Structure 1
Amino acid sequence: MTSQRASTRSFEQKRKTEENPDESLIWGINAVAEALRGNPRRLSEIFIEKGKAGARLQEIIEAAREAEVRLRFVELERVGLPSGCRHQGVAARQAEAELLPLAELLAAEPERILLLDSIQDLGNLGSILRSALAAGFSSVVITSERSAPLTGAVTRASAGAVAHLRISRVVNLAEALRQLKSQGYWIYGAVAEAEAQSMYQTDFSGKIGIVIGSEGKGIRPLVQKCCDHLITIPMPGAFNSLNASVAAALVMFETVRQAQRSSS
């Protein structure tokens, strides 16, 4: 019975792939290697077939790690490749936006930066990016691991905001926070903890970075330690948990409210 269900799921997945091919995917050793050489910023993630080996595959793996492109070792039939394609054990997904090195993002000296710690839901990520643009957070940092890739689904969920944002992808978010702090940013981590400081009693003046954690576990402990302040959204109701995209929007717009009040 279990094998029958698995076979049915595999058939359904294959049928959906053939009816709706993922146009963001490229495959084959030459195609992926060339994309890595040409512009790795446009690659959201690279898939390596589980158990596959070879000198040229290893070169791709090493180049991906050097370029800080997300690597995933998977069964390639699960990623949406067209039936019968010669993938040679490797495929890649092209991002909907060019991803910047952190140094390039910081060179523009943005007043506000949104930092997303392992947001894995495509819809949540898109909604957060849409709110970020609306709130004036035009610079965003995401993690290369444990983060949803910038696919067409994210772009659609963001209502096209992705194209208007400057997005950097980093391997080590804690290290990125240390870089921001060295350049005069105050870092605020949004948490669902009653003992944290209310965002309404927090001074968000100056250059700031707002950290939003993942949907289930929130901000990781090591990242929390790099925050200058942990803030929370006070909720008088008995239910005290908000969707990550809603929480992100509330915090970002509170910083906007304070900035508008201080300038008036």
Structure 2
Amino acid sequence: MPPSPHAIGRDRGAAPVSSGRRQAGKQRPGAGPRKEEQAEKDLIWGLNSVLEALRQPGSVSEILVQRGKAGPRIQAIVDRARQDGVRLRFVAADRMGLPGRCRHQGVVARRTAARLYSLEELLDHLASARQPGDPRLLVLDSIQDPRNLGSILRSAVAAGFGHVIMTRERSAPVTGTVVRTSAGAAARLCLCQVVNLAETLKYLKEKGFWIFGAVASPGATSIYDADFSGPACLVIGSEGRGIRPLVQRQCDHLVTIPMRAEMDSLNASVAAAIIMFEMVRPR
């Protein structure tokens, strides 16, 4: 039986994923969000990020182009927006809708509501995806830095991890900063947020996944010695504390990146990239 909807979000049916090895701050009342916070949530900016977002049908509702800006990539954005019927507006620099600290390169896209999948929807999508090799899932436990999150999502797409599960309460939201840092890769992923990550991992094990937790511990198995065959799920912990104990107890194997220098850990996004590419390396 799957965890309750309160643990993992909305259920929409069984997930037919086959098993390879395993058997079965306080805000003033009435005050709305600050302008910068709202921009972070609703907008994507920068040439690469906007182009990538436009490649995902239905992900953009409007494009703002700064008057006087020109170039091949600006024109590509304009042409694609017109082709897809996306609303296009040419505006003055002070009408771009972003705080001055944001380097928008003359183009801003307004996102449609971010699509978040339920756990069952994500597993159904993973089962139907025609990708070579064993099923792969990335799980992020409390990644709170938006730039780290964006970098991890970019690496996930590059390594072929198209499905990502995140904690709902302790993670950075998928804002414009995340999308820009990911170079638009966030729009190409199936994203799912869950409340109870430990219960979610338990359910994934019932569905046939082996759970690998990334830790900075000399007692863990080197990623170069680990057996990643079969359906596998990689858990990456937060930047400061790593994987929480309750979540770590649901991991079948703890793996680590051996380091020659006297360093105790790597940045979460760097570690995630190294391990993901090792997990998909042909053996």
Does the 8 Å contact 1:96/1:152 carry over to 2?
A: no
Structure 2 unmatched ranges of 5 or more: 1-33, 43-58, 60-98, 100-110, 130-134
Matched, 1:166 2:190: yes
Q: How does 1:83-94 map to 2 (within 5 A)?
A: none
After superposition, the C-alpha distances for 1:59-111 in whole angstroms (9 at most, x for unaligned) are xxxxxxxxxxxxxxxxxxxxxxx9xxxxxxxxxxx886311000110113260
Once the two structures are aligned, what percentage of the paired residues are identical? 60
Task: Determine the C-alpha separation between the residues in 2 that align with 1:132 and 1:23.
Answer: 22
Matched, 1:239 2:263: yes
Task: Determine the C-alpha separation between the residues in 2 that align with 1:221 and 1:227.
Answer: 10
- Say if 1:205 and 1:21 are closer, same or farther in 2 by CA, change over 3 A: closer
Structure 1 unmatched ranges of 5 or more: 1-15, 26-41, 43-81, 83-93
SS at match of 1:24: helix
Aligned length: 180
Matched, 1:140 2:157: no
Does the 8 Å contact 1:96/1:155 carry over to 2?
A: no
1:181: which partner in 2? Answer: 205
1:104: which partner in 2? Answer: 121
- Say if 1:191 and 1:116 are closer, same or farther in 2 by CA, change over 3 A: same
Aligned with 1:205 (options 220, 229, 237)? 229
Task: Determine the C-alpha separation between the residues in 2 that align with 1:105 and 1:189.
Answer: 20
2:56: which partner in 1? Answer: none
SS at match of 2:235: strand
After superposition, the C-alpha distances for 1:206-251 in whole angstroms (9 at most, x for unaligned) are 1000000000000000000000001100011111210000000000
Does the 8 Å contact 2:139/2:233 carry over to 1?
A: yes
TM value normalised by structure 1: 0.63
- Say if 1:154 and 1:236 are closer, same or farther in 2 by CA, change over 3 A: same
Task: Determine the C-alpha separation between the residues in 2 that align with 1:200 and 1:95.
Answer: 41
- Say if 1:195 and 1:148 are closer, same or farther in 2 by CA, change over 3 A: same
Aligned with 1:24 (options 23, 27, 41)? 41
Runs (4+) of structure 1 moved beyond 4 Å? none
TM value normalised by structure 2: 0.59
Does the 8 Å contact 1:213/1:219 carry over to 2?
A: yes
Task: Determine the C-alpha separation between the residues in 1 that align with 2:119 and 2:278.
Answer: 25
Q: How does 1:46-61 map to 2 (within 5 A)?
A: none
Does the 8 Å contact 2:41/2:174 carry over to 1?
A: no
SS at match of 2:224: helix
Q: How does 1:67-86 map to 2 (within 5 A)?
A: none
Pairwise CA RMSD of aligned residues? 2.7
SS at match of 2:260: coil
How far apart are 1:196 and its partner, in Å?
0.6
1:46: which partner in 2? Answer: none
Task: Determine the C-alpha separation between the residues in 2 that align with 1:232 and 1:17.
Answer: 41
- Say if 1:201 and 1:149 are closer, same or farther in 2 by CA, change over 3 A: same
Does the 8 Å contact 2:116/2:192 carry over to 1?
A: yes
SS at match of 2:39: coil
- The answer to which structure has the higher helix fraction is 1
- Say if 1:119 and 1:96 are closer, same or farther in 2 by CA, change over 3 A: farther
1:114: which partner in 2? Answer: 138
Does the 8 Å contact 2:212/2:253 carry over to 1?
A: yes
How far apart are 1:23 and its partner, in Å?
6.4
1:156: which partner in 2? Answer: 180
- Say if 1:96 and 1:201 are closer, same or farther in 2 by CA, change over 3 A: farther
